[in-house]
Amino acid sequence: AAPAKAAPAKAAPAKAAPAKAAPAAAAKGAGDAWQRVEFEEGSSSKFWEARVEEKRLYVRFGKLGTDGQTQIKDLANHAMAMAELEKQLAAKLKKGYQPAGGAGGGAQNLTLEGAILGDPSNDESYLVYADWLQTQGDPRGELITVQQKLAEAGGAEKKKLAKAEADLLAEHAAAFWPKKLKAAIDADAGGKKDRWDVEYATCAATWRNGFLASVRVGLSYELAEEKDHRVAPIVSELLKHPSGRFLEELTIGALGIADEYDYGEVVGAIARAGAPALRTLYIASFSSEHTELSWSHLGKLEKLWPAAPRLESVTLRAGSMSLGKLDLPSLRKLRVETGGFDKKNLKEICDASWPALESLHLYLGQDNYGGNSKLKDVLPILEGKSFPALKHLGLMNCEYTDEIGKALPGSGILPQLETLDLSLGTMSDVGAKAIADNLDAFSHLTSLDLSENFLTDAGIKSLKGLGKKLDTSSQKEPYDWDEDGRYTSVGE
């Protein structure tokens, strides 16, 4: 992948041919992405966008800068829905609408894009698209070809191709780069050397096959306050931009404000724009130097999941959130870090179908910060019926770790696990004894993490039969002013 830094434009972008409608028999999945066109002339400033989901056509339109209004139309089948989308799109282009991003929006073939969405790892699909784009005079076709060759080249050839790539990204910067993302990257350039928050408060991007493959959107306080950058508009433009059509990885970092972090606007932007190719999503990658975990909020996430149906890995960090109904059949990894996980969220996880989920790590938290679950709420996970592929389980940062320890030996989930993480919690020697009395049940694990609990030397010694598989580091001391004195590691 190419480096993230955007090169300054050297010349005006080459004007690509307007998008042509693909055949009505477009492959299923080709309309998953929003197809957006815009019209600006005189006092008129408006947009039109549409996408197909199964046999349903979604159309949004209105004044630029607004959410507009949405119309939904059900057709007889997917092919007819695609045909209707293409008919309406062609009519808009005939009236003078341009693909989002202006003249640089580029040509578009929904059938070929559908093939890429169906299997983004297939480089051959991109090359087929590159050939078609070049017949339309779209420079993205050349960029695809150059970046594919660059990924496999070495030595002098690699240097030559890297220069060709840089030249293309510079010459056609207005077409290839989402304006707000590039502005944030450029504004931040040179100002990172002595910054403490570079890891979390940086906008960065990598390219693959002519499109943005991985993007991090995070802002320092200076960029947000003094230079008026905002995360949500950057994300919204990115997902609607031609270069973001096949975005596979998105990380949302620091918001750059000296206050509570509310990611609701960002979540809404993703839900409205759609991210049909997205495989990896990480929301709220920040440190306590930016804000406290309990001072961050994700809001309602239910509308997010249909907008990113191909997700394989999700990481969420916040003091509060509402997961809503979960339907993520391709998800392989789910990690939620919070000081207090609401039992309603836990129920949504337990009620969902997880045919592919291999890794589940939950910070259950403490009552003071909204962690109101009990052992009965995690029993569906321990039963294992809805988690046929689960290999790695973490029930961490929990106030009832001893009870989990007692429930695990006879559980349905334990035999299929490879790793188990009960760290950051409140396990005492009582929980250790429940494990020690059933060492055979845990002996198949490659690792058992009991770090940052409340085990005594005697409790640790009782578990020595697990050998190097066991992590009992950094045990905590109980508060001396409390009757029990045990606490979870993460709260505020």
474: pLDDT strictly greater than 80: yes
Band (16; pLDDT cuts 50, 70, 90): very low
pTM over 0.85: no
28: pLDDT strictly greater than 50: no
Please give the pLDDT value at position 45.
86
Please give the pLDDT value at position 218.
94
Pairing of strands 280-283, 296-300: unpaired
Tell me: the pLDDT tens digits for 93-138? 888 887 664 334 567 787 888 888 888 889 999 999 999 999 988 9
Please give the pLDDT value at position 100.
61
**Number of Cβ atoms within 10 Å of the Cβ of 167:** 13
Please give the pLDDT value at position 195.
79
Percent of all residues in the chain with a pLDDT value above 90, rounded to a whole number: 61
Give the tokens for residue 201: 């408060």
Torsion sign (Cα): 267, 270, 275, 278: negative
Q: Of 287-296, 366-375, 436-445, which has the strongest mean pLDDT?
A: 436-445
How many whole angstroms separate alpha carbon 387 and alpha carbon 384? 5
Phi, psi of 166 (to 5 degrees): -60, -40
Pairing of strands 69-74, 56-63: antiparallel
Query: Does 193 or 446 have the greater pLDDT score?
Result: 446
Give the tokens for residue 396: 């961490």
180: pLDDT strictly greater than 50: yes
Order across the sheet with 98-99: list the strands.
Answer: 69-74, 56-63, 44-53, 35-41, 98-99
Q: Are 233 and 265 in contact (CB under 8 A)?
A: no
State the alpha helices, DSSP H only, in 231-327: 231-240, 264-273, 304-307
What would the mean pLDDT of 258-284 be, rounded to a whole number? 93
Question: Which single residue is written with the structure tokens 């009236």?
Answer: 95
- Over the range 291-326, which residues count as b (16 or more CB within 10 Å of their CB) and which as e? bebbbbbbbebbebbebbbbbbbbbbbbbbbebeeb
252, β-bridge pairs: 217, 283
Task: Count helices and strands (H / E) in the chain.
Answer: 17, 19
5: pLDDT strictly greater than 60: no
Band (14; pLDDT cuts 50, 70, 90): very low
What would the mean pLDDT of 15-29 be, rounded to a whole number? 37
Please give the pLDDT value at position 411.
96
Please give the pLDDT value at position 483.
67
Exposed / middle / buried, residue 49 (Cβ in 10 Å: 0-12, 13-18, 19+): buried
Percent of all residues in the chain with a pLDDT value above 70, rounded to a whole number: 90
Please report, as a single letter, which amino acid is at residue 212. L
Q: Are 284 and 317 in contact (CB under 8 A)?
A: yes
200: pLDDT strictly greater than 60: yes
Please give the pLDDT value at position 105.
54
453: pLDDT strictly greater than 70: yes
